[in-house]
Amino acid sequence: MKSVTELGDLRGKRVLVRSDLNVPLEHGGPAGSPVISDDGRIRASAPTIKALSEAGARVIVCAHLGRPKGAPEDKYSLAPVAARLREVLGQDVTFASDTVGENARAAVDAAQDGDVVLLENLRFNPGETAKTDEERAEFAQQLAGLADVFVSDGFGVVHRKQASVYDVARLLPSAVGGLVETEVGVLRRLTEDPERPYAVVLGGAKVSDKLGVIDNLLQTADRLLIGGGMVFTFLAAQDYEVGRSLLESDQIEQVKGYLEQARERGVEIVLPVDIVAATEFSADADREVVPAGAIPADRMGLDIGPESGVLFAEKLKDCRTVFWNGPMGAFEMEPYAAGTAAVAKALVEVTEKGALTVVGGGDSAAAVRQLGFEDAQFGHISTGGGASLEYLEGKELPGLTVLDEPGA
């Protein structure tokens, strides 16, 4: 993969940058207007955009937001992202009200050296996520027609074979931006001879979302710490009572196989010893801390308990490499945030001792920020949860492999 520096002098060139600006929005502003609740991806994308602007390029940023169905929807407009990007960059950003239409073409034609243009949501066009190569190629041709050079800098989407990620890279001289370059470099450190002990903390709702990564990590990690909703399938695999907790019954046999494989390989699997169990999925529900193996039939587990937080921290304190993906509980509700906070605090402490700590994007990144931690307290906060997991599974990521094709 080429880096931007290998593209030569970009002054006066129209550079199409695929960023990942898919930030969470809450409609709690004036008159119900959208408010960005976590601008981490905007801040992470800004350095590449700023560097290209300062190099004299005419920067055309494209991105998606949410999951519109191939047509414009006001709630998924990138307009609030454009406003925040202006603030982060400290310069004007022209916002085009379409992606490849009349407004976009006019904005690009009017751009001067150093200017930044943000196109409207890519997914307002059915060709962006089309399943057929022909439909994607047609939209990619329109996008590529706006630019002279392509820079892939949206790590959160490089595992998708989409027009702005994959097909455009085959039409223009292409390179990776600084964000993608950093992400890949960190993930290589996790997969190619990581410094040990190497622990992986997995949480989130479902085991089925992480089958491939668990399978692969059993070959490389020294310890797996399991929390979140997925832990109840692990507990059920040991014949423990999980009450009304989230449970994937169809994955119990698979998890039993993982437990056996871990024993054979000498990989330590660490499960919670206590659970915060509530009568309902609510911050106001009656709740109590119970043993992990004996959740009452009328309750559901919504966080790892305080003893488990201490245990997890103990299992992490001697580690030299830690990857974390997925919160330990329903952190959005204050009564169930302590387990996630305990893991975050433990990662900060080992980071201070010189360990490489990687927070694997998605809900994990949102959680640490919501809980008051700073990005700089960790070794790296990824912008791509799904892409990070697929990389750790050993899968090929189309948005990266295309950049290695001849002529890219």
- Give the separation between CA 210 and CA 218, rounded to whole angstroms: 12
Taking the alpha carbons at both ends of the chain, their separation in whole angstroms is 8
Question: So what's the pLDDT on residue 408?
Answer: 67
Q: Is the pLDDT of residue 356 over 70?
A: yes
pLDDT on residue 161? 96
Same domain, 145 and 200: no
pLDDT tens for each residue of 206-224: 888 888 899 999 999 999 9
Q: Give the residue from 188, 167, 204 showing the smallest Cα distance to 327.
A: 204
Active site residue 326: no
Pair 226, 102 in one domain: no
Identify whether residues 296 and 163 lie together within a single domain: no
- Same-domain pairing of 79 and 200: no
Residue 73 is encoded by which pair of tokens? 């929807």
Is 362 catalytic? The answer is: yes
28 domain residue, yes or no: yes
Q: DSSP character for 267?
A: P
301 shares a domain with 160: no
Q: Indicate whether 386 pLDDT > 90.
A: no
Assess whether 8 and 144 both reside in one domain.
yes
Cα gap 326→359, rounded to integer Å: 9
**Sequence letter at residue 338:** A
Residue 7 has φ and ψ, to the nearest 5°, of: -85, -5
What is the DSSP pairing of strand 287-291 with strand 300-304? unpaired
Nearest to 361 by CA among 389, 322, 332, 339: 389
Phi, psi (deg, nearest 5) at residue 238: -105, 15
Range of the domain at 265: 186-393
The CATH number assigned to the domain holding 230 equals 3.40.50.1260
| pLDDT for position 74 | 93
Is 206 annotated in the active site?
yes
Indicate the residue among 128, 156, 178 that finishes a domain: 178
Give the Cα separation of 256 and 236 in Å (integer).
Answer: 9
241, 118: one domain? no
User: Catalytic one among 14, 18, 41, 299?
Assistant: 41
Residues 126 and 190 in one domain: no
Among residues 35, 164, 45, 174, the alpha carbon closest in space to that of 104 is found at: 164
Out of 178, 201, 228, pick the residue that ends a domain. Answer: 178
Mapping DSSP to helix (H, G, I), strand (E, B) and coil, where does residue 62 land? strand
Residue 403 lies in a domain: no
Catalytic residue, from 101, 212, 293, 386: name it. 386
Are 214 and 164 contained in the same domain? Answer: no
Binding residues for ATP: 210, 301, 332, 361-364
Tell me the binding residues.
20-22, 41, 64-67, 123, 160, 210, 301, 332, 361-364
What pLDDT was estimated at residue 32?
A: 75
Residue type (1 letter), 162: Q
Task: Decide if 132 is inside a domain.
Answer: yes
Of 127, 309, 362, 379, which residue is the catalytic one?
362
Task: Please report, in range form, the residues annotated as the binding site for substrate.
Answer: 20-22, 41, 64-67, 123, 160
Answer yes or no: is 168 within a domain.
Answer: yes
198 and 222 Cβ atoms separated by less than 8 Å: yes
What is the pLDDT, as a whole number, of residue 362?
Answer: 73
- Which pLDDT does position 212 carry in this prediction? 87
For residues 212 and 202, what is the distance between their CA atoms, to the nearest angstrom? 13
User: CA–CA separation, 101 vs 196, rounded Å?
Assistant: 52
- Same domain for 93 and 231, yes or no, is no
Active-site annotation holds for 13: no
Q: Per-residue confidence at 6, pLDDT binned at 50, 70, 90?
A: very high
Residue of 43, 206, 256, 395 with catalytic role: 206
Mean pLDDT (the chain) is 95
Pick the last residue of a domain from 153, 178, 203: 178
Does one domain contain both 135 and 218?
no
Type of residue at 381: I
**Number of folded domains in the chain?**
2
Token readout for 150 is 């392509």
Within a domain: 268: yes
| Sign of the CA dihedral running 189, 195, 196, 201 | negative
Does residue 399 form part of some domain?
A: no
- The answer to whether residues 321 and 385 belong to one domain is yes
Q: How much is the average pLDDT of 75-80?
A: 96
